Amino acid sequence: DYGDPDTNLARHESPEPPPYDLSAINSTHVALIYTANDWLNHVDDVQRLKEHLKVKLLDDYQVPDETWNHMELVWALETGQLVNPRYTAEIIESRGFRTENHYITTEDDYILTVTRIINSHVTDRAGLRPVLLQHSFGNSANVWLINSLGKLTRDGQWVEDNNDSPVGNTLGFVLAVNGYDVWLANSRGNIYSINHTYYDSGDPEFWSFSIDEMVDYDLPAIIAYIQRETHKS
């Protein structure tokens, strides 16, 4: 749609643009995540979209909470519980690796999710060097996974492209094929570490922390756990 009837008429021989041919989409990286109460994108429209797509969807997920609308996908506290936990594992596994989720309780009772990248091509995992990747403030482990699209090849190499140019930007995967046992941290309060032994994420007490507690409690607990699991320092 050129936004102007005359231009549309010159381009399309009609004041209105023709419907987009959804069957022409050939990407294998299409995922649909939607809600039943979306004011901007009705679930019936999502169903019509699925009927016209010819490709296999990477994901087809309707949020189970029927009260959710469009903005909950971005702002809701429960996004980390209902939507996002699916995607660290799915990103990693779609690239050819396996995952392990480890749940670590800090000294002040926050429960952190730490994800381990498993390279199936490595037979001697005991020989790998553990490395912890810590995301920046207000972020999550996904920052180490989504720089560019790539794939683990059959011979165990990580091949990554950006606009058809070979790159090596996604550090989590680059390390996983170069002799490292990769662990991805998630600090308290982010979408993957939203649990506590006593408090719910809706309790004000849950959010009574600062970046100081992330340094004083989260990192020491994660590092100590990895050392116990790997028997390495």
Neighbours of 73 (CB within 10 A): 18
Residues of the chain with CATH 3.40.50.1820: 80-233
Give residue 86's pLDDT: 62
**Could you tell me which CATH number the domain at 80-233 has?**
3.40.50.1820
Checking if the pLDDT of 2 tops 60, the result is yes
- Give ∠ CA 67-68-69 in degrees, rounded to 5: 120
How high does pLDDT run on average in the chain? 87
What is the dihedral angle through the alpha carbons of 215, 216, 219, 220, rounded to the nearest 10 degrees?
160
* Confidence band, pLDDT 50/70/90 cuts, at residue 79: low
- Per residue in 139-176, pLDDT tens? 889 889 877 678 888 888 888 766 555 667 789 999 99
Other Cβ atoms closer than 10 A to 209: 17
Pick 66 or 75 by higher pLDDT. 66
In the block, residue with structure tokens 């169903």: 47
- Length of the chain (residues): 233
Higher pLDDT, 133 or 86: 133
Q: What does the pLDDT read at residue 110?
A: 98
CA atoms within 13 A on the CB side of 224: 10
Question: DSSP string of 91-119?
Answer: HHHHTT-EEEEEEEE-TTSEEEEEEEEE-
